[in-house]
Chains A and B, each alone.
Chain A
Amino acid sequence: MMRRLFIPIVAIALLAVAACGSNDTTTTPTTPTPASPTTATWTGILPVPGSVSRSFEATQAGTVTVTLTAISQRPVAPTLGIGIPQSGASGCVLTQAAPAVVSSDPVFRMQVDAGVFCVKLTDTGNTGSLTFSVTLVHP
């Protein structure tokens, strides 16, 4: 009698333990795909003489383009630059600089590492304020 009861109970216990297990599902590893480039529009008013800058973050290495799409007419072309942010009065320290002339072609097209970078518009050769619009495309 005892054996008759014991065997099915042990069987139930074994089944219960056998039913254990995680609900893990097998997933297929995926290859990371490059993120789509980010497009940002930077517009503003620059009191002249003076400069203004903004930073942006490249989330991975890739190509950055900086295109000046609009700017107030000036007798002397302001300067557009690209570089890295620096704490203190410098703000944005430039790697390259070029005359800020409106064009459909980028003023800068550069390879960058992942990290934080900046663009800076400077006008010291004119008077009065100017308005501008810059398009940034970065990884």
Chain B
Amino acid sequence: MRVWIPALIVVLLGVSACGDSPTSPSDSSATVAPVTEVFAGTLLTGGTSFFSFAVSQAGSVKVMLATTTTESGLPLAPALKLGVGVPAGLGCGVTTSVTATAALASQISTSLSAGTYCVDISDPGNSLKQTVSFNIRIVHP
């Protein structure tokens, strides 16, 4: 009869071990929600302007020159140089660039590792006939 007690314990332990045992997810591969930032400013003829932003983890970065307007808000479509790079000295060391006009789809889409980067906009050809206001939308991890 003494055998029953340990045997019963074995049965109970076996049954109680049933079921899913959830484990805590590891945070090492968690992805953060994308961050949207808007870089707004004005650009003079032949001018350059840049904006720094921090990427918290590796992922896709999209840069959209969304608007270029007169200072009174009238849309213009000048072709400007839009670039992405890393801050260097007092400026932005551009590593990727395109010639872009304002649009609602990103002109630059690239993968970046975590770190500090910058977006640069310029009028290298002195093509602007007047000062323009711009909005650049940046979506990054």
Q: Give A residues with C-beta under 8 Å from B.
A: 2, 5-6, 9-10, 12-14, 16-17, 19-22, 61, 64, 81-84, 86, 90, 93-97, 110-113, 115, 117
Contacts and interface: CB of A to CB of B under 8 A. Distances in A.
B4 A84 contact: no
Contact of A10 (B10, B67, B74, B137): B10
B73 interface: yes
Interface in B68-87: 69, 73-75, 77
B131 interface: no
B58 interface: no
User: Among the interface residues B2, B19, B69, which one has the most CB atoms of the partner chain A within 10 A?
Assistant: B69
Interface residues of B, number: 34
Contact of B69 (A93, A112, A117): A93
B14 A113 contact: no
Interface string B99-141: 0001111100000000000000000000000000101010100
Q: Which 4 A-B pairs have the closest CB atoms?
A: A9-B7, A20-B18, A17-B14, A112-B104
B137 A115 contact: yes
Given A64-B104, A84-B66, A115 B11 contact: no
Nearest to B20: A22
A44 B139 CA distance: 32
A20 B139 CA distance: 46
Contacts of B133: 93
A33 to B, nearest CB: 21
Given A111-B103, A113-B62, 20 more contacts: A16-B14, A17-B14, A20-B18, A22-B20, A64-B104, A84-B104, A86-B135, A93-B69, A93-B135, A94-B69, A94-B73, A95-B67, A96-B75, A110-B104, A110-B105, A112-B104, A113-B104, A113-B105, A113-B106, A115-B137
